[in-house]
Amino acid sequence: MKLRVLGCYGGNIPGHGMTAFLVNDAISLDAGWVSGALSLKEQVRVKDILISHSHLDHTCSLPFLIDNNFSAPGFALRIYAIPEVIASMKNHLFNNHTWPDFTCLPNDLTPVLKLVEIAPEEPFEINGLTIRAVHVSHIVPTTGFILEDRKGAIAFSSDTGPTERFWEVVNTVKRLRAVITETSFPNELQELANVSGHMTPGTLEIELRKLKTDVPVYLYGGKPKHLEKIKRQIRGLKDDRLKMFVQGRTYRF
């Protein structure tokens, strides 16, 4: 499985895009920085997007991705998410106020956008990948995703504080190649991390005791203002599994 990091930060400053990972050139895992990272030619190839939750740092490039490619021949996008997240996108994003409702444009029969509801932990297939959404613990309804092909699997927690079910499911995944999880704030902002459903390096250290498979753990989601401190504290954990994602880099699992 090929994964290109389009953006891996919990905020946006020059050179720092928000959470979006391009899988096998055609599926985007969250969409915080798709139109900001891909050329128009690359954007047309993105057909399917998995959305973990409604927060803007995971969704904000969707309106522009669709707008950029609206008239491109054959362009159509399917967005997969749990019903609560789909409802939020209908009500607050594609609501004809914030942005046009592309689920009925150019017409109801052949819309450029389809919002597809998925059920937690029920596998579905896209382009040879088997995908499962698993609930995590954030301040809005959120799922991580487990993506599997014939060679292996990766598990993406999305934004979460301490959580249980995600790790239970991850521990049952065969041929797990990597875990992707978040560290948004430094330890000094533990209180803020707690109330906003995020992790610090301190939370992460405790959380990773729940992971029973010895695989690399890639980190995303750092708030740009606190990145250097977060990196220093992650190094301080002296855990060889931990790696910070690098924006623009392609990983193979």
Q: Which residues bind Zn ion (CB under 5 A)?
A: 55, 159
Longest dimension (CA), the chain: 55
Cβ-based nearer residue to Zn ion, 26 or 87: 87
Cβ-based nearer residue to Zn ion, 98 or 171: 98
The partner residues of 242 in beta bridges, in order of sequence, read: 217
Cα–Cα distance, 208 to 216 (Å, whole number): 11
Tell me the closest approach of the beta carbon of residue 221 to Zn ion, in angstroms.
8
Tell me the closest approach of the beta carbon of residue 159 to Zn ion, in angstroms.
4
CB 239 within 8 A of CB 205: yes
Helix (H, G, I), strand (E, B) or coil at 224: helix
Tell me the closest approach of the beta carbon of residue 54 to Zn ion, in angstroms.
8
DSSP string, 124-173: EEETTEEEEEEE---SS--EEEEEE-SS-EEEE--S-SS-SHHHHHHTT-
Count of CB atoms situated within 10 Å of the CB of 239: 14
Beta strands 27-29 and 48-50: pairing type?
Answer: parallel
Tell me the closest approach of the beta carbon of residue 198 to Zn ion, in angstroms.
8
Tell me the closest approach of the beta carbon of residue 189 to Zn ion, in angstroms.
15
Cα–Cα distance, 199 to 194 (Å, whole number): 7
Cβ-based nearer residue to Zn ion, 69 or 88: 88
Cβ-based nearer residue to Zn ion, 55 or 135: 55
Cβ-based nearer residue to Zn ion, 1 or 50: 50
Cβ-based nearer residue to Zn ion, 55 or 223: 55
Residue 134 backbone dihedrals phi, psi, to 5 degrees: -135, 130
Tell me the closest approach of the beta carbon of residue 40 to Zn ion, in angstroms.
28
